[in-house]
Structure 1
Amino acid sequence: MKRYWKYIRPYLGAFILAPLLMLTEVFGEIMLPRMTSLIINNGVATKDVEYILGMGGKMVAIAVVMAAGGIGASYFSSKASICFSTDLRKDVFHKVQQFSFKNIDDFSTGSLVTRLTNDIQQIQNVVMMSLRLLFRAPGLLIGGLIMAYLMNRQLMVILLVVIPLLILAIVIILIAAFPRFEAMQKKIDRLNSGVQEALTNVRVIKSFVREDFEEKKFQATNRDLKEGSLDAMKIVVVSMPVMMLAMNVTTLAVVWYGGNLIIAGKMPVGDLTAFTTYIVQILMSLMLLSMVFLQASRAMASLRRVREVLDTEIDLTDDHASEKSAQVTSGKVEFRNVSFQYVKGMDEMVLKHIDFTAEPGETIGIIGSTGSGKTSLVQMIPRLYDADEGQVLVDGIDVRDYSIRNLREGVGMVLQKNVLFSGTIEENLRWGDENATMEEVILMAESAQADGFVTNFKDGYDTDLGQGGSNVSGGQKQRLCIARALLKKPKILILDDSTSAVDTATEARIRQCFQTTLKDTTKFIIAQRIGSVESADKIIVLDDGQIVGMGSHEELLESCEAYQEIYYSQRDVDKEAGA
């Protein structure tokens, strides 16, 4: 509970007022049946109109107070629950933003979306319900039992039989409900993951004419969720009729037994009317409690899932950084005997004993077959992953000794998967530097060979990109991402196969601009084409996570068999294409 106190404390007034105001309704519901019995026994029986009107006026006043209390309780319970869930959702999202790549790998995107939306909504609903029923249900139960006992102890025997049976039924229902609700939330995860994947990759689906396959896959996931939901809802479906049956049977028993007492002259008619009302209140309060417990069991499953996110230990932190104030100033990069694996404890390393130095301002080309570890290598530099063995140093300082923010501020990255965000082209470019002048934005767009096509748009830099840059081509998207990274003016720039969708002439112009715009920036260029890196100061050839060659283009053509194989195979392909 300590963890969640921080979400309650700012709205403590609402959390207190909601149940207190609900007490006015409880007081009224306890008093009104007794006052009704007094009207019947003392007013109707003696035809005392004045007594009836006087007692009726008091009942109206109580009803008005009950209505005001109910409205206030509903308002404050809504405010408390909504504010609680809003702050909780904010903290969960903040925690997700702190996740390393490894942490994100432990959760599916759909699962995180479900936890931030559906799971927190379940928690909000239970908080709201609990505040409204926190005093109401127990108050009606206890108050009803006291009033019923005071009115007729003989009829109380019926309740002493029914209530333990109902409590036992509620416990059995709750034990059965919790695992079903937990399973249902996991099936919502899978559905959300499938929907997100299908919508994100809708162009690929259409290009391969796989709509029917995706529909069948969705139907299977949707059907699985339906069956899981029905399985969970069976508990809710069963609980209500059981409670209603118990209520009706108990009411019939009370009326039958109480009727005999009236005939025998041992009980006034008004008392039986009030007692019957109290029976309904008592059983209804048990029903309300069972509903709260059922919803709480689902919310507990959701709370556990939210807690998993909040309790996730972030493996990349500044906690042990010894140079937190240090900043990247020159861009020198050193790898000292670096080895790395994604799944810890496995024998196979993704990178093995990597050693090299990139001097400030140098251009380093990285080439190798698919799966050779090129992307993994450059992800060590901004500390997206930590090396398992050895050291990665930037400006002579181990990357683990920088604050993550300062380190990444000095590194610009254009990833394999080019990502743009909803908004205008200018807004996307300003991710590199939100305070840049418009002249700087245009200059970097020109350097990335993006200004030409941007100015051809009707709205120029104010063109709305839509979701994920859906209205620009792959090559245009790559150039915008490069411009965004250039605007950051990083000391280290990493281009991870980021010109693959650009023609060779445009790529050559981009590289030429690098020599002027980024002459003091250390540049790492991952490429599949040797032509993209042959002018680099140093080329690293990777194979199976190891460096098998390093040097200039000419040196590698003489000494590195793997480089020769790539070079001649690509040259032959180019000749055939030219022919």
Structure 2
Amino acid sequence: MITKAIGKYKLLVTAAILTMLIQVGATLWQPSYMKSILSVMANTALSTSGKIDRISGYGVALIVIAVIGLIGSVLNTITAAKIAQAVSADLRENTFRKIQTFSYEDVEKFKSENLVVRMTNDINQIQMLLMMIFQVLIRVPLLFVGAFVLSIITMPQLWWIIIVMVVLIVVVTGLSMRAMGPHFSAFQKLMDRINGIAKDNLRGARVVKSFVQEKNQEAKFDKESDDLFGHNLSVGYIFSTMIPAFTIISQLAIFVAILFVSTFITKSASFAQDQLGGIMSFIQYMMQIMFAIIMGGMMSMFASRGFVSMGRIAEVLDTKVSMIFDDVPDETLDGTIEFDHVSFAYPNDDEPMLKDVSFKINSGQMVGIVGATGAGKSTLAQLIPRLFDPTSGTVKVGGKDLRHVSKGTLKKNISIVLQKAILFSGTISGNLKQGKQDASSSEMDRAAQIAQAAEFINKLPDRYEANVEERGNNFSGGQKQRMSITRGIIKSPKILILDDSTSALDARSEKLVQDAFSQELKDTTTIIIAQKISSVVHADTILVMDEGRIVAQGNHKELVATSDVYQQIYATQKAKEEA
């Protein structure tokens, strides 16, 4: 996934690697000049002026190398940042596009709050990982190998000190990484839970405050937050032992190196002049080796969190979408609907919600669907615009199996208005044009008149350009439902599904909407799902559902006379109205 994403930026990647090589080269080059300077100082054959001239030349060379290394470091940081930003932006966009192809079933599989964390926090972790790769993780092995080889060349007698130091540091790093791994893996899961709690609390703020549940919400949040704090604290404790351990190992290595060099000097006078300068370079190379291992270990620990996030993003991108649309031309269908022995069960549910449902609706009919709560009314409605596919059986619109028509055909011919009116922040026109992107002012006016939304929209100073706050919080429930109905009918669909979408309207407004439907949408097949008999009493046909089955079908008068289930619902509601 990352390799493919980075492949688009080959020029930047090449520049990042070249600048890194310049930086590493400058770092490895500097100790050799320190050796030369000490060798000049120990050379008794040179005069004082000769020593000064040579040392000055080496000093200028050191400054030039340092400047070159600095320039390489700056350019490396810039190119690494550009790669990280560009790739993370691409991943975020690709992840969002992928999510748009998900069906309801796919979204429920991941959960919405989980997907939000993946697109934000996980992408940020990958961005940090890319920065580390091009700034540290690639530089570390180059610096380690270079310093290791040059240290042995500089002081071949002390090669074993390097080996022992490397082994000890690697052991400490490995044990630390093993201890930290589970904590980093737990971070993202806890972030998902914390985000979910915060999201539920903010969305349900009215419920929380109405039932005085602030303390309970705080307790739930504190529990997850404390778990995250505990994992962070454990990582901090491990770090607090790592750094002192690395320091002790490096200082012991330096002490042993100086001890053995002093032994060599006492045994050989010529060693002092020829190799004394090498001890400083050797120590610097040891420090570079230690730095490379420490940085590699520490960055690998942080990178492990990035790799976990990478896996989570890959899981989204590699998900096989459960609902595939045929690549066929868009077409106009008539409003006939047919269910042929349809059964449906939600994912992970053992019991089907719909059981062997069969019926046919002719184009232009107004059909009501009633039944007790949990009878399967909304589930049935969601199969018509193919929000779900049936577990068995066939759903046809215009005589076509929905599994063999394009997504554009469904969008063009079918509209569904849900009970929970969902509006997006922006303007009223922006929300209405989600139903038809090129909707004109006259089309918005007509739809608003039918849905009785013009009643309040025309009173707003900016009318269709009036501001809509997040989730439409600056409008009442009835106003939001009427705007949702307007959005559903603005494209003049062949089939309009109203899933209890007038529940928040008063009796007068609901009657006006029903009358407008009868007059203005005569050619539209209208399906009204309702809890109230009064909402469907005027329908051409009423389907009565009970426990996932259609137990009766007919108009109001026929059902009152023949259906026990319908009679019970009607009698109960009539008694309430009379009371």
The alignment's TM-score, normalised by the length of structure 2, stands at 0.95
Cα offsets for 1:151-188 (capped at 9, x unmatched): 21222221111212322333333333333211221111
Counterpart secondary structure, 2:157: coil
Q: Which residue of 1 aligns with 2:391?
A: 388
- Would you say the 8 A contact 1:491–1:521 is kept in 2? yes
Cα offsets for 1:54-93 (capped at 9, x unmatched): 1111111111211111111111111111111111121111
Alignment of 1:542-557 (within 5 A): 542-557=545-560
Q: Aligned partner of 2:207: which letter?
A: V
- Would you say the 8 A contact 1:328–1:410 is kept in 2? yes
Q: Which residue of 2 aligns with 1:303?
A: 310
**Pair 1:234–1:363, CA change in 2 (3 A):** farther
Matched, 1:534 2:537: yes
Counterpart secondary structure, 1:337: strand
Q: Which residue of 2 aligns with 1:483?
A: 486
- Would you say the 8 A contact 2:105–2:347 is kept in 1? no
Matched, 1:341 2:339: no
Q: Which residue of 2 aligns with 1:24?
A: 22
Gaps of 5+ in 2: none
Which of 76, 84, 89 is the matching residue for 2:87?
Answer: 84
- Would you say the 8 A contact 1:43–1:49 is kept in 2? no
Counterpart secondary structure, 2:472: coil
My pick for the range that moved more, 249-258 or 185-194, is 249-258
Matched, 1:271 2:275: no
Q: How far, CA to CA, are the matches of 2:197 and 2:138 in structure 1?
A: 42
Cα offsets for 1:503-547 (capped at 9, x unmatched): 011001011111222211111111111000000011011111011
Cα offsets for 1:398-422 (capped at 9, x unmatched): 1101122322331111112210001
Q: Which residue of 2 aligns with 1:151?
A: 154
Cα offsets for 1:437-463 (capped at 9, x unmatched): 112112211211111212222332222
Q: How far, CA to CA, are the matches of 1:204 and 1:424 in structure 2?
A: 27
Superposed CA RMSD: 1.8
Matched, 1:137 2:140: yes
Q: Which residue of 2 aligns with 1:462?
A: 465
Q: Aligned partner of 1:514: which letter?
A: F
- Would you say the 8 A contact 1:236–1:294 is kept in 2? no
- Would you say the 8 A contact 1:328–1:394 is kept in 2? no
Cα offsets for 1:218-242 (capped at 9, x unmatched): 1112112212333344444443333
Counterpart secondary structure, 1:468: helix
- Would you say the 8 A contact 1:478–1:499 is kept in 2? yes
Alignment of 1:402-413 (within 5 A): 402-413=405-416
Cα offsets for 1:249-270 (capped at 9, x unmatched): 2223223333443454434443
Q: CA deviation at 1:344?
A: 5.5
Q: Aligned partner of 2:212: which letter?
A: V
Q: How far, CA to CA, are the matches of 2:414 and 2:240 in structure 1?
A: 57
Q: How far, CA to CA, are the matches of 1:257 and 1:55 in structure 2?
A: 28
Q: How far, CA to CA, are the matches of 1:228 and 1:259 in structure 2?
A: 47
My pick for the range that moved more, 306-315 or 453-462, is 453-462
**Pair 1:406–1:262, CA change in 2 (3 A):** farther
Q: CA deviation at 1:326?
A: 4.8
Matched, 1:240 2:243: yes
Q: Aligned partner of 1:200: which letter?
A: R
Aligned identity (percent) is 36
Counterpart secondary structure, 1:558: helix
My pick for the range that moved more, 461-470 or 402-411, is 402-411
Alignment of 1:213-362 (within 5 A): 213-264=216-267, 265=269, 266-267=271-272, 268-318=275-325, 321=326, 324-343=328-347, 346=350, 348-362=351-365
Counterpart secondary structure, 1:155: helix
Q: Aligned partner of 2:277: which letter?
A: G
- Would you say the 8 A contact 2:343–2:390 is kept in 1? yes
**Pair 1:19–1:262, CA change in 2 (3 A):** farther
Q: How far, CA to CA, are the matches of 1:328 and 1:353 in structure 2?
A: 28
Q: Aligned partner of 2:570: which letter?
A: Y
Q: CA deviation at 1:19?
A: 1.9
Q: Which residue of 2 aligns with 1:62?
A: 65
Q: How far, CA to CA, are the matches of 1:499 and 1:50 in structure 2?
A: 94
**Pair 1:234–1:90, CA change in 2 (3 A):** farther
Q: CA deviation at 1:12?
A: 1.0
Q: How far, CA to CA, are the matches of 2:144 and 2:457 in structure 1?
A: 70
Q: Which residue of 2 aligns with 1:572?
A: 575
